[in-house]
Amino acid sequence: MVNAQPVRAILVGYGYWGSRFLNIASRVDKLQIVGVVDSRFGEDGFTRPTSLPGGSDLAAALADSQVEAAIVTTPASAHIEPIRQALRAGKHVFTEKPFTVTTRDSTELLGLARDGDLMLTVDHQYWWSAEVAALGKALADKAIGDVVAVAVERAADGPVRYDVDALWDLAIHDISILVRLGVLGEGDKPCLEVEECRETMDGQVAGCVALTGRTPSAITLRLHACWISRTKRRGFVIAGERGSVHLVETDRYLSAWLIRDGRRTLLSRSAKSGNGTPIELALEEFIAGVRGTPDLRKATDAGRVVTAIEHIESSARQVATVVRSPRCWL
């Protein structure tokens, strides 16, 4: 008999994204946030949610037999421990990206989920968009022929991160799409040989990364990720022998386009607000796995994203130079 009760979950991390997540979760049927855990509870300057019980003790929250899942929205470098604790406690986990920042950690967490027969979802939210699905279909149908080049850009004036660089915080969105579409990433093999890389530091991390490289299948990739830009810019183009596909993002819409033979064809367009957003669809898929059979295929792909970024980062380190500037130089 199917359990029709809402999935009772705790929210781990109540910062920039965690506070927004409560509003998103309220629009998802069969999900109930029953508490918030944050290590800063009780500290001066921390604003706690007023509508939910909360505290700083994650172990105590996970010990509650009524809690079925943990939703992790901590900073990127602090994901691993709460996910590990939740899985070891037998709780299903939904986590914000990045899954982890090392392949070793993502492999460990996937193993814990498999061993415990637990649902594990990483919110690479573009994966649930109709537009990325449309791009995937166009590539599968060879609408542009073989892929020869990719250009992606994601730049804005903040928000600033202090624990990971722009590659892990911003470029991860576009790299995750390329992994999902099969353009980047082939198991544990290096996915990109970086030929040129420029970085602009923002404190201890690179707030701006611009690189050019080549995949093992000779696809050229140009990437720019930056949170110290004076202007907001988005670009995502996959070029083939006979045309190109584009993912166009504005504040209001996400659109997928095909350009071929001088014609521009809209493949899909969705509003970025309202009901049925990709993150809501991701949560619904998570709930289905909690109530039914856990499906770890997307979580496995999230592990491949971590490996891809590790490979890109390692290759870029060999050729990177620092551009000394307080703002983006592009």
Task: Locate the DSSP E strands across 167-262.
Answer: 193-202, 205-214, 220-226, 228-240, 244-249, 253-260
pLDDT confidence of residue 224: 98
Q: Is residue 79, in this structure, part of any structural domain at all?
A: yes
> Among 124, 140, 172, which residue terminates a domain?
124
The H-or-E segment that residue 222 falls in is: strand 220-226
> Among 93, 124, 155, which residue terminates a domain?
124
Are 132 and 58 contained in the same domain?
no
Residue 124 CA, chain-centre distance (Å), reads 3
pLDDT per residue over 150-204, tens digit each? 999 999 999 998 899 999 999 999 999 999 999 997 767 789 999 999 999 999 9
Domain count, the chain: 2
52 lies in which domain range? 7-124
Q: Is the per-residue pLDDT at 84 higher than 80? A: yes
Q: Summarize the confidence of residues 26-33 as an average pLDDT.
A: 93
Are 103 and 137 contained in the same domain?
no
Q: Is the per-residue pLDDT at 254 higher than 80? A: yes
| pLDDT band (50, 70, 90) for residue 23 | confident
Are 137 and 150 contained in the same domain?
yes
pLDDT per residue over 274-302, tens digit each? 778 999 999 999 999 999 999 999 999 99
Angle at 51 between CA 49 and CA 57, to 5 degrees: 55
pLDDT per residue over 133-162, tens digit each? 999 999 999 999 999 999 999 999 999 988
Q: Is residue 285, in this structure, part of any structural domain at all?
A: no
Are 175 and 97 contained in the same domain?
no
Are 131 and 251 contained in the same domain?
yes
Say which DSSP state 10 is in: E
Q: What is the CATH number of the domain that holds 70?
A: 3.40.50.720
Can you read off the two tokens belonging to residue 270? 């969705």
Residue 13 gets the label, from left (phi > 0), alpha (psi -120 to 50) or beta, of: left
For the chain, the average pLDDT equals: 95
C-alpha–C-alpha distance, residues 233 and 251, integer Å: 11
pLDDT confidence of residue 185: 77
Q: What is the pTM (predicted TM-score) of this model?
A: 0.95
Q: Is the per-residue pLDDT at 2 higher than 70? A: no
C-alpha–C-alpha distance, residues 49 and 11, integer Å: 11
pLDDT confidence of residue 276: 86
pLDDT confidence of residue 19: 87
Q: Summarize the confidence of residues 258-287 as an average pLDDT.
A: 94
pLDDT confidence of residue 187: 67
pLDDT confidence of residue 1: 53
Q: Is the per-residue pLDDT at 45 higher than 90? A: no
Nearest to 242 by CA among 138, 97, 117, 101: 138
Q: Is the per-residue pLDDT at 65 higher than 60? A: yes
Helix, strand or coil for residue 270? strand
pLDDT per residue over 208-225, tens digit each? 999 999 999 999 999 999
Nearest to 326 by CA among 169, 176, 157: 157
pLDDT confidence of residue 128: 97
Q: What is the largest CA-CA distance in the chain?
A: 62
> Among 104, 124, 144, which residue terminates a domain?
124
pLDDT confidence of residue 48: 85
The residue that leads in pLDDT, 76 or 238, is 238
| pLDDT band (50, 70, 90) for residue 42 | confident
Contact 147, 237 (CB under 8 A): no
205-214 and 220-226 beta bridge pairing: antiparallel
